[in-house]
Amino acid sequence: MKAKEPIKKICEFCGCEFEAYTQTARYCSHDCNRKAYREMKRKEVISLTASMTSQTKRERAKTNLSEREYISISEAASLLGWCKQTVYNYCHKGIIPAKRLSQRTTLIRKKDIEALFDVIEPYEVLTTGVRKPIDEWYTIDEVTEKYGLLRHRIRKIINAESIPTKKVGTHTLIGKSTQSSPLNS
């Protein structure tokens, strides 16, 4: 119904004040009306998509895999919560038995995955390679003087052999390790 006098309203889309000639007017212009409609439709699509993908991949995999005897590498990865490469590594090591049917298809029996957890050994913290702190250090100048090597060659050896180093100010110190390193021999 048309008003006798213009009504002061605020646009629901842009927030500008405008004069409306009907009581039901919500937007200041056709542009704002069109943009508001598009935004509303966009939000509907987003909410619909979000509701469709509310189940996580793992939940969908568990429900789909419950009745299947053989599963693929990616399904095994989602079932275990690992990445696919980890499952491939376990298959290559022989920890998880798998059958390669073709270049693109590898299947694993679900029983074999469950069998991984049948014989559980106690968890041990591996303490191999405990290092003693290094007390003595060479400077790069000392190494160049002692061995007659250029600085860039010393850097290559340090990187290739993983020789421990530390920075003190602008100087790089190289560990005098008791282990056999190329710089100590």
Q: What is the pLDDT of residues 113-165, one digit of tens each?
A: 988 888 777 777 766 666 667 778 888 888 888 888 888 898 898 888 888 88
Q: Quick one: residue 147, left, alpha or beta (phi over 0 = left, psi -120 to 50 = alpha)? A: alpha
Strand order in the sheet with 98-100: 70-72, 106-109, 98-100
The verdict on domain 57-115 having CATH code 1.10.10 is yes
- Cα 43 to Cα 47, 89, 105, 119: the distances in Å are 6, 43, 40, 51
At residue 5 the predicted structure's pLDDT band, cuts being 50, 70 and 90, is confident
Alpha carbon 81 to its chain's center? 13
Strand order in the sheet with 137-139: 137-139, 171-175, 165-168
Q: Average pLDDT over the chain, rounded to whole?
A: 84
pTM, full prediction: 0.38
pLDDT tens for each residue of 30-66 = 999 999 999 999 999 998 888 777 666 556 656 667 7
Contact 61, 78 (CB under 8 A): yes
Contacts of 177 (CB under 8 A, 6+ apart): 134, 163, 164, 184
Residue 40 sits at φ, ψ, to 5 deg, of -65, -45
